[in-house]
Amino acid sequence: MKTYIVGNWKLNFTVGEASIYLHKLLKALPNYRDIEVVVAPSTIALQPLSLQVDRHKIKLAAQNAFYRDYGAFTGETSFSQLRGIADYTIVGHSERRYIFGENDKMIEKKVAAAIRNKITPILCVGETESERSFGETADVIRDQVIGGLTDVADDDLDKVVIAYEPVWAISSTKAAKLATPDEIAEVVALIRKTLADTYGKEVAEKVPVLFGGSVNPSNAGAYLTVPGVNGLLVGGSSLILSEFTDIIEVAKRVRS
C-alpha cells in the first residue's frame, strides 16, 4: 500500500501564490513510486493548478464540495464539476463539522457523491477534547466511520481513504496537546475493527488510514511508524515548502 502525504492548505494562498508554491514543489520532488503526494488548495485555485500540475508527482484534492451534482444551490461547487480536476476530496474535516455544522448525514452524501464522480474521498473522523475526557472516543469514531460510509458498497470501499484527526490535537503547538503514538494506534485499531465488522477483515485491510494533528517534520516519523497508519494529513507545515518536503523525505525513509 502507498504512503499518503496530503497537504491541506485551508484558507491560505491566493491563486498566484498557490501557483508559485506548486511550481517550487514540483521542482523539489522526484517521482515517487510508493508515496502519493497530494495538495488541497482553495477551490478557486483548483482549476488553474490542474493545468499546471504533473500528476505523476502530485495529485490535487478539493477541500470540500456539495453532494448534489447540479441545481439551484448558489455558491456551491459540486463533485461533478470537480471531476477531472481533483483526484481527491477532503470530506468531514472537523472545521466543516464544528464551524459549518455538517452532520453525518451530509457527510455520508458527500462521500457517495465523490465516489459517484470518480473522486477519492478522504473521510476525516475525530473526537473533541470534551468527548475524549468523557470517555466517548470509541463511540464518536464508530459513529463517524459508519455514518460516513453508510452509502458505500462493499466493492467501493477500496475507493475511500480515512483520516483520523483528533480535534484536540489539530493546530496544536503544545506538547501536552499532541497525540502520542499509543493514542493514535488505539484509535486506528478501532477504525480498522469498525471497518472489519462492517465490511469484513480482508476488505477493511485495503483501506488507507491517515493521521492528522499538528504534523511536522519532527514528529512525522513517529506517526508514520504507528501500526496501521498509511500516511499523514498535514496542515500548517504543508504551507512551508521546506517543512512539507522534509515530511515527504521522512516518509521516503520510513518506506525504505
What is residue 203's predicted lDDT score, i.e. its pLDDT?
Answer: 85
Q: Which CATH superfamily hosts domain 3-255?
A: Aldolase class I (3.20.20.70)
Mean pLDDT to the nearest integer, 48-77 = 97
- 23 catalytically annotated: no
Q: What would the pLDDT profile of 177-212 be if each residue is shown by its tens digit?
A: 788 999 999 999 999 999 999 999 988 889 999 999
Handedness of CA 220, 240, 96, 115 (dihedral sign): negative
What is residue 256's predicted lDDT score, i.e. its pLDDT?
Answer: 78
What is residue 178's predicted lDDT score, i.e. its pLDDT?
Answer: 85
What is residue 171's predicted lDDT score, i.e. its pLDDT?
Answer: 60
Catalytic one of 93, 95, 102, 127: 93
Q: Read off the pLDDT band of 254 (50, 70, 90).
A: very high
* Predicted structure pTM score: 0.95
Looking at the predicted structure, is the pLDDT value of residue 219 above 90?
yes
Q: What is the rounded distance in angstroms from the CA atom of residue 227 to the CA atom of residue 102?
A: 30
Mean pLDDT to the nearest integer, 172-176 = 49
Q: Read off the pLDDT band of 176 (50, 70, 90).
A: very low
Q: What is the rounded distance in angstroms from the CA atom of residue 100 to the CA atom of residue 97?
A: 6
Looking at the predicted structure, is the pLDDT value of residue 174 above 60?
no
C-alpha cell, 239: 504551507
Roughly what angle, to the nearest 10 degrees, separates helices 137-148 and 181-199? 40
Mean pLDDT to the nearest integer, 106-133 = 96
What is residue 134's predicted lDDT score, i.e. its pLDDT?
Answer: 94
Looking at the predicted structure, is the pLDDT value of residue 140 above 50?
yes
Mean pLDDT to the nearest integer, 162-167 = 95
Type of residue found at 10: K
Handedness of CA 246, 248, 249, 250 (dihedral sign): positive
Looking at the predicted structure, is the pLDDT value of residue 63 above 90?
yes
Beta bridge mates, 8:
40
Residues 119, 159, 164, 241, Cα dihedral to 10°: -50
- 165 catalytically annotated: yes
Q: What would the pLDDT profile of 6-29 be if each residue is shown by its tens digit?
A: 999 999 999 999 999 999 999 999
Q: What would the pLDDT profile of 84-119 be if each residue is shown by its tens digit?
A: 999 999 999 999 999 999 999 999 999 999 999 999
Handedness of CA 207, 228, 220, 34 (dihedral sign): negative
Catalytic one of 102, 127, 165, 243: 165
